[in-house]
Amino acid sequence: MSHLLTIAIDGPAASGKSTVGQRVAQVLDFLYFDTGAMYRAVTLLALERGMDLADAEALGRLAAETPILIEQPADDVQDSRQYTVIVEGRDITWELRHRAVDQNVSQVARHPSVRKELRSQQRKIGEQGEVVMVGRDIGTVVMPDAPLKIYLDASPEERARRRCRDCELRGEDADYETLLDEIRERDQRDSQRPEAPLSVADDAIVLDTDGLSIDEVVRQILELVKQQGWTREEASRNHTQTAP
Ligand code: CDP
């Protein structure tokens, strides 16, 4: 069992991982790291370049050769972003949320060549400790030693409603039935791929968030953190790990 203070949060699309993960990280003063942004970045570039999404070798090369920078938003950025994603000097933060990326990301993420590259970058970040990392395979593959693993779940209907609201807030058209179909399709692809499928780690705590507010889910996770008995001294001792 690792002594690093790390929290792994996994779960299907729109289960609330990002919002909850960021709030928990804020309260604990931990780094918040959303691994989905990396898979989305590779997908966006592949689509822009007209690449064949079945070409595992080319996509693996793209992932290996393209540094993806995920940074704190600059002070003068006034939108609701959680972080800024820069690739080749370009701010692609909002482009990562486009429907075309939603619809294609799980095809890119199924390739072991892509996963291997992104996983090694994610592990380096996890090894520094004091991180809340969210994704699909964090508790099972990326940080199997994380002392606290949460699996956030919710019904497809509830998740489609949440995604609809997100789209509306961004001023985008949203059709509930279409989003529901897309969520079901992505769940299926993510859970059935051979490499690092979406699954619940044996030692994860499953939180069913149907009908729960964000605040309630955050409260439950902070309660679990408290039960770990982590102290600030422990945190600073563990913070002297290798840099990525
Ligand atoms: O925000 P949402 O839950 O819709 O998606 P996301 O977390 O941004 O992840 C987008 C896609 O990336 C997922 O549907 C997976 O196909 C892939 N992904 C993955 O395979 N492994 C991860 N650790 C994170 C994301």
Strands (DSSP E) found in the chain: 6-10, 31-34, 68-71, 84-87, 90-91, 131-135, 148-153, 205-208
In the structure encoding, which two tokens stand for residue 12, read together? Answer: 């299907």
This prediction has a pTM of 0.90
Task: Flag whether pLDDT at 61 surpasses 80.
Answer: yes
**105 pocket-lining for ligand 1 (C-beta < 6 Å):** yes
What is the distance between the alpha carbons of residues 99 and 40, in angstroms, rounded to a whole number?
Answer: 11
229 CA from centroid of ligand 1 (Å):
30
pLDDT digits 0-9 by tens, 164-177: 998 888 888 889 99
CA-96 nearest atom, ligand 1: 8
Q: Please report which helix (H) or strand (E) contains residue 44, including its range.
A: helix 36-48
- End-to-end distance of the chain based on CA atoms, in angstroms? 21
Write the DSSP symbol of residue 66. Answer: S
Q: How many Å lie between the centroid of ligand 1 and the Cα of residue 135?
A: 6
Sheet (strand 90-91) strand order = 68-71, 84-87, 90-91
Give the nearest ligand 1 atom to 189 CA: 16
Q: How far is the CA of 238 from the centre of ligand 1 (A)?
A: 28
pLDDT at position 239 is 40
Return the ligand 1 atom nearest residue 186 CA.
Answer: 14
Contact 81, 93 (CB under 8 A): yes
What amino acid is encoded at 94 in this protein?
W
Residue 75 has pLDDT above 60, yes or no: yes
pLDDT > 50? residue 244: no
Kindly state if the Cβ of 41 falls inside 6 Å of ligand 1. no
Backbone angles phi and psi of 36, in degrees to 5: -60, -35
Strand pairing of 90-91 and 84-87? antiparallel
Here the tokens at position 153 are: 């779940």
Q: Is the pLDDT of residue 121 over 90?
A: yes
